[in-house]
Amino acid sequence: MTLNAVSKQQPWERIAPVLAAGQRVFGENRVQEALRRWEARREGLELRLIGPLQTNKTHEAVAFFDVIETLDRERLAGALAQEIQRQGRAPRLYVQVNTGEEPQKAGIAPAAADAFIAACRKDYGLPIEGLMCIPPESQPPAPHFALLAKIAARNGLLGLSMGMSADFETAVRFGATAVRVGSALFGER
Ligand SMILES: *Cc1c(COP(=O)(O)O)cnc(C)c1O
């Protein structure tokens, strides 16, 4: 079980004690912000991108992150494959699934997930470590975690990044291998 400490938008005074306590895995949702916060003290940390990735930022993202959790479209798969080849550096990859099928939210639709994962593997040569989801705020999260676990199982994927401050206990019950906790750890943003 990995605790991904989501440090986005947090002042350094709140992050420093968590780092001092031994936390080594941090999550960020913007590439530039992550670079500003972590570039000078990156050594020994695992940094995970949990926010949407634009194709024009794939160069920086591949160079900087250990894990990219928001792969959700073919164009991005192509751009990532190209950068990984070019840089000889391969972040671990998670496919984001839009389990609630919310139009404003990133992620591949659940019905399209199997084909997309297969395309990532076969057409783009990208090894996929797991799946990530952000359930709709207005709904109980359990069915979304169950759906994500089911899609992962039938595709032979072991990683499940799910659960945030409000629902990480539920996510763990449904098999989360990484929870992404921000405000419960650092305080409100
Ligand atoms: C901000 C964020 C989190 C952390 O949210 P909290 O409710 O503060 O724990 C988790 N996952 C993603 C994708 C986020 O953008």
Query: 151-177: per-residue pLDDT in tens?
Result: 999 999 999 999 999 999 999 999 999
For the CA of 69, the closest atom of ligand 1 is 13
Banded pLDDT at 81 (limits 50, 70, 90) = very high
Banded pLDDT at 86 (limits 50, 70, 90) = very high
In sequence order, the 6+-apart residues with CB closer than 8 A to the CB of 147 are: 97, 99, 110, 133
Residue 91: per-residue pLDDT: 98
- Cα torsion 132, 137, 138, 139: sign: positive
State the distance from the centre of ligand 1 to the C-alpha of 86, rounded, in angstroms: 31
Q: What is the pLDDT of residues 5-20, one digit of tens each?
A: 999 999 999 999 999 9
In sequence order, the 6+-apart residues with CB closer than 8 A to the CB of 128 are: 71, 93, 94, 95, 117, 120, 121, 155, 157
- Which of the listed residues 18, 137, 180 should we mutate to test ligand 1's pocket, taking the one with most ligand atoms within 8 A of CB? 180
Q: What is the pLDDT of residues 104-152, one digit of tens each?
A: 999 999 999 999 999 999 999 999 999 999 999 999 999 999 999 999 9
In sequence order, the 6+-apart residues with CB closer than 8 A to the CB of 107 are: 70, 72, 96, 97, 98, 99, 132, 133, 134
Query: Residue 147 forms beta bridges with which residues?
Result: none
State the distance from the centre of ligand 1 to the C-alpha of 6, rounded, in angstroms: 6
Q: Which residue has the least CA distance to atom 7 on ligand 1?
A: 165
d(CA 151, CA 87): 31
- Which of the listed residues 2, 47, 49, 50 should we mutate to test ligand 1's pocket, taking the one with most ligand atoms within 8 A of CB? 50
Residue 13: per-residue pLDDT: 98
For the CA of 29, the closest atom of ligand 1 is 15
For the CA of 6, the closest atom of ligand 1 is 4
For the CA of 132, the closest atom of ligand 1 is 13
